[in-house]
Structures are given as structure tokens and as C-alpha cells.
């Protein structure tokens, strides 16, 4: 179990798997009590055909999104060190979203509050599903200083890196210009 003294993040090996929808479903079932990808804390992107990957909070050590939120609707969990959203406030600001390096927080489709990974109270469901399926793409690891920068990239940057890994010399042919 993580705590603020030993916070965790979810490390990922994106090139190992392409079936991220199961993790997206696990997340929405846990938080929304139904399959609802639009309200999931995971965003699955496919900016180039056949390169699909999950994009979710990198659990930054400096909490840029929480610091930028003008309404104090984002706080830090004492239990996990993850960003928490005060859902009852129902106030969303693009400032917190835009402050995040990879712009992954988004607005809930109905309730209009910010949606961001809260590590499922210390038991990330997407990691559980990944481990149970023996994909071993995601795992919970302790945070290291500035290690979030490995994951805090825009969807376009991540897609480019994966395209180069998968398609090598032909990657430029598949990427947008």
C-alpha cells in the first residue's frame, strides 16, 4: 500500500500490448460503476492506425495540476500521494488540465468536474486487470525523483515514439506532418 511518504506510480511498457480497452473498462467500472470509456481516468488514443495506447496520469512529484487549479478542487491524497478531485464541488477549470505536462486530466462528460487518476485508493484496477491477464504491461512501482517525465508526454509525442519503435525507418510515412 502506498502512502505519501512512499508514493507510487504506474509504470508501463507500451510496446508490449495493444489491448488497453480492458484497462479502460476496469477503471470506469471502479469509478463510475459501469462501462463508460468517456468517464474513465484512462484515455486510449490511436493517432496512427494500429498504434493504440493508454494515456493516464504520470503522478508528478510537483503536482502542477493541483497547484494551478484556481478553485482548490484538486488535492493530494494522504493515503496514496495521488491527486484527488472533490467531486461535490462540480467546478472544473482548464488551468489545472493545461498545467499538466501531457494534458491528461479531462472534464467528466456529465458532471463537469476534472477527471484524473487517483490510483483507485492505492489499488489501481488497471494494474490488477493487466496482471491477472498476464500481460505485465503495467505495474505499480515506487516513485523516483523526476521519473514522471518518462510518462508525462503528450499523446502526439508518445505516438511518435511508438511509431518509431514499431515501424522504424517507415515511421515517417505513417505519422502526420
15: left (phi over 0), alpha (psi -120 to 50) or beta: alpha
* CA–CA gap between residue 83 and residue 75 (Å, rounded): 6
Share of the chain above pLDDT 70, in %: 85
* pLDDT attached to residue 2: 44
For 23-41, what is the mean pLDDT? 94
In this predicted model, what pLDDT tens digit does every residue of 121-147 receive, in sequence order?
Answer: 889 998 898 888 877 778 888 777 556
* 91 class by beta-carbon count within 10 Å (0-12 exposed, 13-18 middle, 19+ buried): middle
* CA–CA gap between residue 127 and residue 40 (Å, rounded): 14
* pLDDT attached to residue 88: 63
For the chain, the structural domain boundaries read 8-166
In this predicted model, what pLDDT tens digit does every residue of 87-124 receive, in sequence order?
Answer: 666 666 677 777 776 767 888 899 888 888 999 988 99
* pLDDT attached to residue 162: 86
* pLDDT attached to residue 3: 46
Amino acid at each position: 500500500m502506498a502512502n505519501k511518504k512512499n508514493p507510487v506510480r504506474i509504470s508501463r511498457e507500451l510496446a508490449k500490448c495493444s489491448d488497453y480497452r480492458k484497462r479502460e473498462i476496469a477503471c470506469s467500472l471502479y469509478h463510475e460503476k459501469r462501462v463508460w470509456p468517456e468517464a474513465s481516468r484512462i484515455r486510449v488514443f490511436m493517432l496512427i492506425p494500429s498504434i493504440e495506447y493508454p494515456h493516464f496520469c504520470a503522478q508528478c512529484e510537483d503536482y502542477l495540476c493541483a497547484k494551478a487549479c484556481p478553485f482548490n478542487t484538486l488535492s493530494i491524497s494522504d493515503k496514496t500521494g495521488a491527486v484527488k478531485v472533490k467531486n461535490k464541488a462540480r467546478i472544473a477549470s482548464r488551468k489545472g488540465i493545461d498545467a499538466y505536462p501531457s494534458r491528461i486530466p479531462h472534464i467528466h462528460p456529465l458532471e463537469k468536474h476534472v477527471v484524473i487518476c487517483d490510483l483507485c485508493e492505492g489499488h489501481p484496477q488497471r494494474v490488477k486487470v493487466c496482471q491477472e491477464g498476464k500481460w505485465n504491461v503495467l505495474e505499480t512501482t515506487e516513485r523516483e525523483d523526476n521519473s514522471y517525465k518518462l510518462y508525462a508526454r503528450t499523446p502526439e509525442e508518445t505516438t511518435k515514439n511508438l511509431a518509431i519503435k514499431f515501424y522504424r525507418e517507415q515511421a515517417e510515412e505513417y505519422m502526420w506532418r
